Structure 1
Amino acid sequence: MLTQGYPGSVWLTGQQPSRALRQGRYTHESITHPGKMLPTIARYAINTYTDPGDLVLDPMAGIGTTVVEAMHLDRHGVGVEYEDKWAALAAVNVALAEKQGVSGTGVIYTGDSRKLPTLLPPQMRGAVALVITSPPYGPSTHGHVRTPGPRRGKVRKLHHRYGGSDNLAYRNHDTLAQGFTDILAGCRTVLRPGGHVVITARPYRRHGELVDIPGMAVAAGQAAGLELVEECVALMAGVRNGVLIPRASFFQQKNVGDAITDGDPQWLVQHEDVIVLRRDSNSTSSTELRCSQSEVSWVRE
């Protein structure tokens, strides 16, 4: 539900299956990341909130979706990824985009984005037009299904975990909320006045309890000094003749079916909540430097 008093809109971002959206732009190994953003969501946000030549940042870059889509749209993409495995894979995807002759540039850094300003070159402060990211939230909403065949064992789940146990995805909700607040505070430091932050998230259930990740994202953004301007819906389902074409995973369908059987009616979620925040255009700091586009040419390595 949208927060009262804030505008919202529906983004038609699920017209094709996710596999088709990544074909040709991302390596086959990219499918192993548990929390990939739909390329069309990143693409829509970049087209809406930036102009060609702008700087776009993802502080939790994963396989580099935001960076790659920014490069294809003639923007400069920067990603920061905590885990070495995914940072290396994101760098391969950036190299693939470069090989395809894109007009934008891209770079991936490895590090803990809770210390974001210390990970990025000082000339980035006050230069970023748009941040696109998504908080990590455990294995229950991610992964792929493999069936061993008729009567040959249990359904197996894979590609549903990030990596090390110290990842924010596996911390308790309070630690995740504080960590995400720290990340967004760092993002505010590098955003230019009037720059936007787009966060995709969805609620999920842990041991039957509903965890309000979108609400946490709003609270974290406001605690970091950002202004909430929109709450939108990005469809992960297709729309054909006014009818939704669901693309829910096996486990989503099973969990909803089990809940209905237990007398707890639930909806099959077919969208991501999109939280749009903004840095106050009147907010400045003596430590934040504005950069011209020529000064951010460092983003190609």
Structure 2
Amino acid sequence: MHHHHTAEHADHRTCSSAAPGSPAVSVWATAQTSPAAQRKGRYSPDSSAHPAKMLPAVAAHAIAHYTQPGDLVLDPMCGIGTTLVEALHLNRRALGIEYESHWVDIARTNLTLAHHHTHNTGGEVVHGDARQLTTLLPDALRGQVALVVTSPPYGPSTHGRVTTGTTGVHKYHHRYGNTLDRGNLANIGHHRLLSGFTRILTTCTTYLKPGGHVVITLRPWREHSELIDLPTQIADCGRRAGLTPTERCVALLARIADHDLVARGSFFQRDFIRKQRDAGLPLHLIAHEDVLILTKPVPLTSQRLRAAQPHAVNGLGGNARPVVTKHDLEGVAA
């Protein structure tokens, strides 16, 4: 059951005494059922191979909170199409971009499944590079997207599935595409990843309607054993793209039990943690993702401008701003 944006937010808010002007904080209970249970019947078996799948409940929570039925949701790096599938199940329209043709095919299979289950055919995947978004999407969609849901493409250190064989444990599906393909953001290093992600957010912002939201999920990321403060760096990317960071949330990857959190870790994650601890590095199983919410500023309406300048003649003046329609403001938090 999904409540209105502000009501459900109040239910999950854990920090109501935040300093004025600082981003609101809330916890999303998104792992009460296992990832496998969340995907069962909704995603093709081939989907499991993707190294960085978003938890369906995380995408669904964002879509339920920040959009209304019929709204358009965009994921510029959609992978197996989790954002799109969950949008269709919530009676939204969905558009995804994916760079790797293999995942485009699987995302389209998952959309077909969603179309079959929901009879909602408002989903599409475009094959291409999200940094070239303006060449991939029609101009008519500018200012039409209510919500962007995505995650930066991490390097191989944070992902992976394993198979155990007679020769021990082997990691697979932990690298994106061809590691020699420099066009693939996951393989080009941290600083270039940030500049590429800024470019993606900048192009996404042109398609976002005023007051629309961008939800970015982030795993804690280590480089050479050092924990990188990715949320702060990604928030800076968003600011450079013309967005305003408005919330910083936590999406749980662990189940809330009566008195504690029950972590859900893959075999690979547990094996990796054990080896790191044996080597003297006190790592813990990841129990959450950071979620950053950024908003596209709403321009001053002509009414507000007139109120601010009561003697100005309608239509005149050198600082004309786009008029915001009632449709633009639908779904914008009060």
TM-score, normalising length: structure 1 = 0.89
Partner of 2:61: 44
- The alignment status of 1:126 with 2:167, answered yes or no, reads no
Partner of 1:296: none
Q: Aligned match of 1:117 in 124, 127, 134?
A: 134
Q: Aligned match of 1:161 in 175, 183, 194?
A: 175
Q: CA deviation at 1:242?
A: 2.9
The verdict on how the C-alpha distance between 1:101 and 1:269 changes in structure 2, with shifts beyond 3 A counting, is closer
The verdict on how the C-alpha distance between 1:123 and 1:73 changes in structure 2, with shifts beyond 3 A counting, is same
Partner of 2:70: 53
Q: Aligned match of 1:147 in 164, 174, 177?
A: 164
Partner of 1:67: 84
> What is the CA RMSD across the aligned residues, in angstroms?
2.4
Partner of 1:299: none
Partner of 2:242: 225
Q: State whether residues 114 and 120 of structure 2, in contact with CA within 8 Å, keep that contact through their aligned partners in structure 1.
A: no
Q: Secondary structure at the match of 2:249?
A: strand
Q: Deviations over 1:125-178 (max 9, x none)?
A: 000000000011112211212112xxx322111221221333111111111000
Q: Deviations over 1:186-226 (max 9, x none)?
A: 11100000000000011222322323332321111111110
- Percent of paired sites with the same residue: 48
Partners of 1:156 and 1:186 lie apart in 2 by 39
Partners of 1:169 and 1:221 lie apart in 2 by 19
Q: State whether residues 109 and 119 of structure 1, in contact with CA within 8 Å, keep that contact through their aligned partners in structure 2.
A: yes
Partner of 1:31: 48
Residue identity matched to 2:264: R
Partner of 2:286: 269
Q: Where does 1:102-113 land on structure 2 (aligned, <5 Å)?
A: 102-103=119-120, 105-113=122-130
Indicate the larger mover: 282-291 or 240-249: 282-291
Q: Secondary structure at the match of 1:74?
A: coil
Q: Between Structure 1 and Structure 2, how many residues are aligned? A: 289
Q: Where does 1:152-191 land on structure 2 (aligned, <5 Å)?
A: 152-165=166-179, 166=182, 167-191=184-208
Q: State whether residues 96 and 125 of structure 2, in contact with CA within 8 Å, keep that contact through their aligned partners in structure 1.
A: yes
Q: CA deviation at 1:289?
A: 11
Q: Aligned match of 1:99 in 113, 116, 141?
A: 116
- The alignment status of 1:260 with 2:246, answered yes or no, reads no
Partners of 2:187 and 2:221 lie apart in 1 by 14
Partners of 1:286 and 1:34 lie apart in 2 by 44
Q: State whether residues 126 and 289 of structure 1, in contact with CA within 8 Å, keep that contact through their aligned partners in structure 2.
A: no
Q: State whether residues 72 and 92 of structure 2, in contact with CA within 8 Å, keep that contact through their aligned partners in structure 1.
A: yes
Q: Where does 1:81-92 land on structure 2 (aligned, <5 Å)?
A: 81-92=98-109
Query: Runs of 5+ in structure 1 lacking a partner?
Result: 294-301
Q: State whether residues 125 and 288 of structure 1, in contact with CA within 8 Å, keep that contact through their aligned partners in structure 2.
A: no
Q: State whether residues 299 and 321 of structure 2, in contact with CA within 8 Å, keep that contact through their aligned partners in structure 1.
A: no
Query: Runs of 5+ in structure 2 lacking a partner?
Result: 1-14, 302-319, 329-334
Indicate the larger mover: 39-48 or 5-14: 5-14
Q: Secondary structure at the match of 1:100?
A: helix
Q: CA deviation at 1:23?
A: 0.8
Q: State whether residues 50 and 130 of structure 1, in contact with CA within 8 Å, keep that contact through their aligned partners in structure 2.
A: yes
TM-score, normalising length: structure 2 = 0.81
Q: State whether residues 88 and 122 of structure 2, in contact with CA within 8 Å, keep that contact through their aligned partners in structure 1.
A: yes
Q: CA deviation at 1:121?
A: 1.4
Q: CA deviation at 1:292?
A: 7.3
Partner of 2:314: none
Indicate the larger mover: 256-265 or 88-97: 256-265
Superposition misfits of 4+ residues, deviation over 6 angstroms: 283-293
Q: Greater CA radius of gyration, 1 or 2?
A: 2
Q: CA deviation at 1:287?
A: 9.8
Q: Secondary structure at the match of 1:107?
A: strand
Residue identity matched to 2:109: V
The verdict on how the C-alpha distance between 1:258 and 1:38 changes in structure 2, with shifts beyond 3 A counting, is same
